[in-house]
C-alpha cells in the first residue's frame, strides 16, 4: 500500500540531527544594533547538579555525600567559583569562562515538574508547558514565533529552526520551519545504552549477550590502546569527540553572517544510577565532554561569542544522597549553566535551600528554589527581546506568576 506521504516519511527519518536553530535576526534586538545568538543544550538523563557545582560552603555538604563530596582539598580538588561553590574539576573551560565573567551558574533550580519520570520530565522541560502531557511544539520554537512580525511565522522566509545530530529535541519543534544538519557517519551508541542492553540480554538471550559482551570487551581494549598512546588524555573518547563535533557544528552555523541565530542540541547519557564517578569516572568524563563542547562552541563562534548565550539545561536533578550502588537516583532540583560573551557572568545565582534532611525536598532531593522558566524567560526577554506577555502566555503558558529573571545579560 502506498501513501501520499510515503517518501517524506523516509526522508524525515534520516534528515534530522541535534542542532536546531532559527535563521533569522531577532527584530527588536537587531534594531539595537545587536545580533544575538542563543543556543540551548538539553542534557537528557538528569544531571547531578550537586556533583557539577558543589556547595563546599554548606556545613552539611561533607556529611551528605561523604567520599563523593567534591572539596577544594580533595584528591582531585574542585575548582573554586565562589566562597560557597566549587566546580567539578573536569570542567576547566567552564571555570575559565566563569573567571572572565562569561558564565553563570543558577543552582537549586528546576522546571515545574515534581515527579521523577525521565520521559515526562524531558517533555516538560522542552515543551515549556506547566504539566506533563502530549505536546507537538517546544518553547524555543514558540519563542521564535513570537519574535516574528505579528507573531506569525513566514512559511517560506527566514524563520527557520536548525537541528544538528541524532536527537531532534521537542524544544525546537513547532510552527517555525525546522532545518536539520547531522554529523557525518554513525555515532556509536553510548556506553550507558550498551550496558543496559547487555543487562537485558543477560537475562533473556545468552547468544546475544555473548556477542555484545565480546563487542564491549573489544571496545575496552581499543580504548585502553588509545589511552596508552595518548597519556593524560582522559577518555570517554567517543562522547567527548561527538559532543564537541555536534556543539562545534552548531556554533559554526550560528557564527555565519547569514546563518541561523537560535538553535538547540541534545546531549544524552546523564542518568548516573551506578558508579557515578563524580571526580574520577563516568560523570567526570561526561562533564569533561560537555566542557570540551562548550570550548568548541566558543572557539567556533569567533567574534560572535560576544553576542552569544548558551543555556545548558536538564530535566531534573538527582538524589542528594548517594544510593546503594555509588550512584544517584532521580531527584528534583539541579542547576542550569549559562555561558557566553553576552552574559553578566562570574556569578552563582542561588537561593540556597540547605542540605539538612529537613531542607531537602521530600527528605531526599535538593529543594528547588528557582523556577527554570524564570531563567529562560529572562534570557529570551533581555537577550532576544521577546515580549514578556507572549512569554507568559505562549512560550511558557501559565507562567505569568514567574517573572523573568533580570540582569543575566548586558
C-alpha cell at 399: 507562567
C-alpha cell at 315: 530535566
Phi-psi region of 275 (alpha: psi -120 to 50; beta: other; left: phi over 0): left
Using the minimum distance from each CB to another protein, give the nearer residue, 87 or 286: 286
**Considering only CA atoms, which of 278, 255, 297, 268 is closest in space to residue 97?**
297
CB of 180 to another protein, least distance (A): 6
**Residue 53, H or E segment:** strand 53-54
Q: Which stretch binds another protein (CB under 8 A): 68-76, 186-194, 316-324, 331-339?
A: 186-194
CB of 334 to another protein, least distance (A): 14
CB of 188 to another protein, least distance (A): 5
| Residue in 52, 68, 137, 298 binding another protein, rule: CB under 8 A | 137
Task: Return the bridge partners of 241, or none.
Answer: none
224 vs 238: CA distance, rounded Å: 13
119 vs 281: CA distance, rounded Å: 26
> If you compute the radius of gyration of the chain from its CA atoms, what whole number of angstroms results?
21
CB of 201 to another protein, least distance (A): 7
Answer yes or no whether residue 324 interacts with another protein by CB under 8 A.
no
Answer yes or no whether residue 204 interacts with another protein by CB under 8 A.
yes
Answer yes or no whether residue 46 interacts with another protein by CB under 8 A.
yes
Answer yes or no whether residue 15 interacts with another protein by CB under 8 A.
yes
| Residue in 49, 168, 236, 288 binding another protein, rule: CB under 8 A | 168
Q: Which stretch binds another protein (CB under 8 A): 169-177, 229-237, 361-369, 381-389?
A: 169-177
E strands, 210-295, in order:
262-268
Assign 171 to helix, strand or coil: helix
| Residue in 196, 230, 356, 389 binding another protein, rule: CB under 8 A | 196
In this structure, what DSSP letter does residue 409 have? Answer: B
CB of 183 to another protein, least distance (A): 11
Using the minimum distance from each CB to another protein, give the nearer residue, 192 or 295: 192
Contact call for residues 379 and 409 (beta carbons, < 8 A): yes
Using the minimum distance from each CB to another protein, give the nearer residue, 93 or 300: 300
Q: Which stretch binds another protein (CB under 8 A): 28-36, 129-137, 229-237, 392-400?
A: 129-137
β pairing state of 103-110 and 370-371: parallel
Answer yes or no whether residue 200 interacts with another protein by CB under 8 A.
yes
CB of 16 to another protein, least distance (A): 5
Q: Kindly give, in sequence order, each residue whose CB lies less than 8 Å from that of residue 148, ignoring residues fewer than 6 positions away.
A: 24, 27, 154, 159, 176
38 vs 29: CA distance, rounded Å: 12
Answer yes or no whether residue 290 interacts with another protein by CB under 8 A.
no
| Residue in 48, 271, 307, 382 binding another protein, rule: CB under 8 A | 271
Contact call for residues 334 and 42 (beta carbons, < 8 A): no
Q: Which stretch binds another protein (CB under 8 A): 27-35, 132-140, 277-285, 384-392?
A: 132-140
**Residue 203 exposed, middle or buried by CB count within 10 Å (0-12, 13-18, 19+):** exposed
Residues lying near another protein in the complex (CB under 8 A) = 1-3, 6-7, 9-18, 44-46, 118-119, 122, 134-137, 155, 160, 162, 165-168, 170, 173-175, 177-182, 184, 186-190, 192-194, 196-197, 199-201, 203-205, 207-208, 211-212, 215, 266, 268-271
Amino acid at each position: 500500500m502506498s501513501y501520499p506521504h510515503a517518501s517524506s516519511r523516509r526522508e524525515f527519518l534520516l534528515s534530522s540531527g541535534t542542532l536546531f536553530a532559527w535563521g533569522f535576526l531577532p527584530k527588536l534586538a537587531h534594531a539595537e544594533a545587536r545580533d544575538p545568538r542563543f543556543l540551548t543544550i538539553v542534557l537528557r538523563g538528569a544531571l547531578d547538579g550537586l556533583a557539577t557545582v558543589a556547595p563546599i560552603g554548606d556545613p552539611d555538604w561533607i556529611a551528605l555525600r561523604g567520599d563523593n563530596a567534591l572539596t577544594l582539598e580533595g584528591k582531585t580538588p574542585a575548582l573554586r567559583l565562589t566562597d560557597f561553590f566549587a566546580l567539578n574539576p573536569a570542567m576547566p573551560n567552564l571555570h575559565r569562562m566563569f573567571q572572565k565573567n562569561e558564565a553563570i551558574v543558577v543552582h537549586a533550580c528546576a522546571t515545574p515538574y515534581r515527579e521523577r519520570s525521565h520521559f515526562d520530565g524531558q517533555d516538560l522541560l522542552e515543551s515549556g508547558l506547566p504539566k506533563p502531557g502530549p505536546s507537538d511544539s517546544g518553547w524555543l520554537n514558540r519563542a521564535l514565533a513570537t519574535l516574528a512580525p505579528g507573531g506569525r511565522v513566514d512559511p517560506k522566509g527566514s524563520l527557520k529552526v536548525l537541528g544538528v545530530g541524532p536527537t531532534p529535541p521537542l524544544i525546537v519543534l513547532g510552527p517555525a520551519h525546522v532545518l536539520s544538519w547531522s554529523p557525518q557517519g554513525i555515532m556509536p551508541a553510548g556506553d550507558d545504552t550498551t550496558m543496559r542492553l547487555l543487562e537485558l540480554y543477560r537475562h533473556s538471550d545468552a547468544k546475544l549477550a555473548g556477542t555484545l559482551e565480546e563487542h564491549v570487551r573489544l571496545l575496552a581494549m581499543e580504548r585502553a590502546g588509545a589511552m596508552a598512546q595518548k597519556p593524560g588524555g582522559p577518555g570517554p573518547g567517543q562522547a567527548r569527540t561527538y559532543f564537541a563535533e555536534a556543539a562545534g557544528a552548531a556554533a559554526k552555523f550560528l557564527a555565519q553572517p547569514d546563518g541561523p541565530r537560535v538553535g538547540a542540541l541534545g546531549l544524552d547519557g546523564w542518568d548516573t544510577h551506578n558508579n557515578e564517578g563524580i571526580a574520577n569516572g563516568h560523570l567526570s568524563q561526561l562533564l569533561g565532554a560537555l566542557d570540551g563542547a562548550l570550548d568548541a562552541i566558543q572557539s567556533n563562534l569567533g567574534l560572535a561569542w560576544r553576542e552569544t548565550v548558551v543555556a545548558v539545561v536538564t530535566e531534573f536533578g538527582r538524589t542528594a544522597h548517594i544510593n546503594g550502588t555509588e550512584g544517584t537516583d532521580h531527584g528534583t532540583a539541579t542547576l542550569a549553566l549559562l555561558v557566553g560573551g553576552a552574559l553578566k557572568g562570574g556569578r552563582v545565582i542561588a537561593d540556597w535551600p540547605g542540605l539538612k534532611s529537613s531542607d531537602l525536598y521530600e527528605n531526599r532531593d535538593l529543594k528547588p528554589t528557582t523556577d527554570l522558566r524564570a531563567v529562560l524567560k529572562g534570557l529570551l526577554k533581555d537577550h532576544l527581546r521577546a515580549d514578556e506577555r507572549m512569554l507568559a502566555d505562549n512560550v511558557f503558558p501559565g507562567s505569568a506568576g514567574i517573572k523573568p529573571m533580570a540582569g543575566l545579560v548586558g
